[in-house]
Amino acid sequence: MGERELILALAATIFFSTISLSVNRYFLETNELMWKNEYDYYAVGLGQRIIEEAKTRRFDLNSPPLYNFESPYGMNCANGENYPNFNDVDDYGHYGHNDNLHLIFNTPLGEFRLRIYVHYVDKNNIDTPVYYRTYHKRMVVVVKNENLSAPIILKHVFSYIENN
């Protein structure tokens, strides 16, 4: 084999090695992205499960009529109620003596921690909790897992429509 053929063989080997490394890196990055998406989808699914579950509950135990409560948010979990046996949306946000409900789901993808907040909101500004009773409650579900790059946050507004 001549010098020219040796240089061509060496160049081809380097070329194919570079392509092989690039393809392997692409597959690894794609695989990592697929796993990240799997965790994101699973976290969204768990959070959405809580929201959908809460949609099956009444807006408020005492609705109608609207009236003032003594507590600042006007919501307290009734004695003896435990998750998932709540009877109204409030119970998801004020569980026992805590200000919010904490849930832990052990799944094939690991442990997912959920924290649920429920607050009254004004119809003109649904992003800010208010300290008086309104016809609207906002639920915020925060889902955390060690493999998520950031917590997943889902929000939903429940509205009470009075039947006249």
DSSP string, 72-137: SS---PPTT--TT--SBTHHHH--TTSSSEEEEEEETTEEEEEEEEEEEEETTEEEEE-SS--SEE
Sign of CA dihedral 88, 93, 98, 104: positive
pLDDT at 163: 63
Please tell me which residue, 151 or 21, carries the higher pLDDT value: 151
pLDDT at 30: 78
- Average pLDDT of 108-118? 92
pLDDT at 60: 77
pLDDT tens digits for 132-161?
A: 888 899 999 999 999 999 999 999 999 887
> Does pLDDT of 112 surpass 70?
yes
- What span, in angstroms and rounded, lies between the C-alpha atoms of 83 and 37? 29
- What span, in angstroms and rounded, lies between the C-alpha atoms of 113 and 104? 5
pLDDT at 76: 45
> Does pLDDT of 124 surpass 70?
yes
pLDDT at 47: 95
pLDDT tens digits for 33-73?
A: 888 889 999 999 999 999 999 988 888 776 543 333 333 33
pLDDT tens digits for 66-102?
A: 333 333 333 444 545 677 778 888 888 765 445 678 8
Cβ–Cβ under 8 Å, residues 118 and 89: yes
- What span, in angstroms and rounded, lies between the C-alpha atoms of 151 and 114? 10
Q: What is the pTM of this model?
A: 0.72
